[in-house]
Amino acid sequence: MGKHFFKVAGHIFSVEICDELLSQMDNYTPFAVNPVDNPIFSLAVQNEQAPRYTEETRQEEENQSIICGKTDDGLAVFDFFLYGKSTGILICSKNFKQANLYLNQDGIFAKEQTDIHSENWQHTRFALNNSLMVLYSLATATLGTVLFHAVGIKYNGRGYLFLGKSGTGKSTHARLWLKYNEGSELFNDDNPVVRLFKNENGTIHAKTYGTPWSGKTPCYKNVEMELGGFTLLSQAPFNKISPLKKISAYAALKTSISGMRWDKNIADGLHQTENGLAANIPVWYLECLPDGGAAKLCRETIVSNE
C-alpha cells in the first residue's frame, strides 16, 4: 500500500491504495502533488469485509444509485451501485476527514483479475471516483467550494458552466460551442469545481477548475480560470436566453450542486456559497434547440454582458 496526494481546486487530499488498484486512477495523474502533513481528507482502500450498516436514504440516476446510511456506531455510509450491483462501500469519520473504501465484495483483489477492462475493474474505478467526489464535496462544503454537475467551457480566458438535469443536452451544447464559437475549449464534461473568493476591498468573485471527474468524456485538465457565468439549459423548439435573478438564480445553482444537505454544517456551508454565487455571478436561462444558433446566441449574450 502506498499513499498518494492530489490537489484539486487548491485542496489537497490523500489516497492510500495498493499498486494494482492505482492503475485505475490515471485520471488523477494531472493533479498529483508532493505529500503534505494535513490533507483536507484521507481515503484508505481496504481489502476486507465492510461493517454492516442501516440504510437511511438513497439517490437514483441513470442506472446508478447511492445508498446512504449509518453504521451501528453512527458513522456515515455510502454504498455505490452500478446497474444494480454494489461496487464499493465508503465509511466516513464523523468530520469526514478520514474514510475507508471497501472493495472486496466481488474478489476485486484476486490475482486472477488481470484484465484492467474487466467488469470488476470498471466497478473499482466507479467506486473510487464516487468515493472521492463524495468526500471532496463534504470536506470542502464549508470552505466556499462546491462541486457542480455541469459542463465547463473555457472562452477568452474565462470559464462558463452549463447546467441542467441529465438528458437536457449540456454536452451537446458544449460541442456546439466548440464547433461554432471559435476559441472555445472543453475543460470538464461533468464535474467542475467552483470556489468563491472575497477581495480585500470586499468584492466577491469566483473561479472554476477542472477536476479528475469528467463523466463520459475523458477531460481531466488541471486548470483554473475566472468564472464568467452559469447557463441553465432547457430543450425548446426555439432559441431564447434571459437572465435569472435572486431566488430563481439560487434555485438553478442549488439543484446542480453535490452535497449531503441533511448535515446542518454542510447544508449551511453550501447555502452560503450558493447565495454568494447567485448574488454576484451572472446566471442565465437558455431555452434552445440543439443547433449552432443556440451556441452563438448564448456566447453573444453571456460574454457581452460581463
Single-letter residue type at 177: W
Please check whether residues 134 and 149 belong to one and the same domain.
no
- The pLDDT mean for the chain works out to 90
Cα separation, 206 vs 192, whole angstroms: 13
Please check whether residues 221 and 77 belong to one and the same domain.
no
pLDDT of residue 106: 53
Note the pTM of the prediction, 2 decimals: 0.92
pLDDT of residue 104: 62
Final residue belonging to a domain, choices 139, 168, 203? 139
Length of the chain: 306
Please check whether residues 154 and 180 belong to one and the same domain.
yes
Distance set, CA 132 to CA 40, 97, 175 (Å): 12, 12, 27
Please check whether residues 48 and 74 belong to one and the same domain.
yes
Please check whether residues 50 and 89 belong to one and the same domain.
yes
Is the pLDDT reported for residue 252 higher than 60? Answer: yes
Strand partners, 195: 145, 207
Please check whether residues 85 and 152 belong to one and the same domain.
no
Please check whether residues 108 and 218 belong to one and the same domain.
no
- Residues near 118 by beta carbon (within 8 Å), at least 6 away in sequence: none
Range of the domain at 114: 2-139
For residue range 68-90, what is the model confidence (pLDDT) as tens digits? 999 999 999 999 999 888 999 99
pLDDT of residue 91: 97
Domain count, the chain: 2
CATH number of the CATH domain containing 172:
3.40.50
Rounded to 10°, the helix 246-254/264-280 angle is: 130
Question: Which residue has 466481488 as its cell numbers?
Answer: 106
Q: Which of 149-158, 264-273, 284-293 has the lowest mean pLDDT?
A: 264-273
Single-letter residue type at 41: F
For residue range 132-162, what is the model confidence (pLDDT) as tens digits? 999 999 999 999 999 999 999 999 999 999 9
- Among 76, 25, 28, smallest CA distance to 260 is for 76
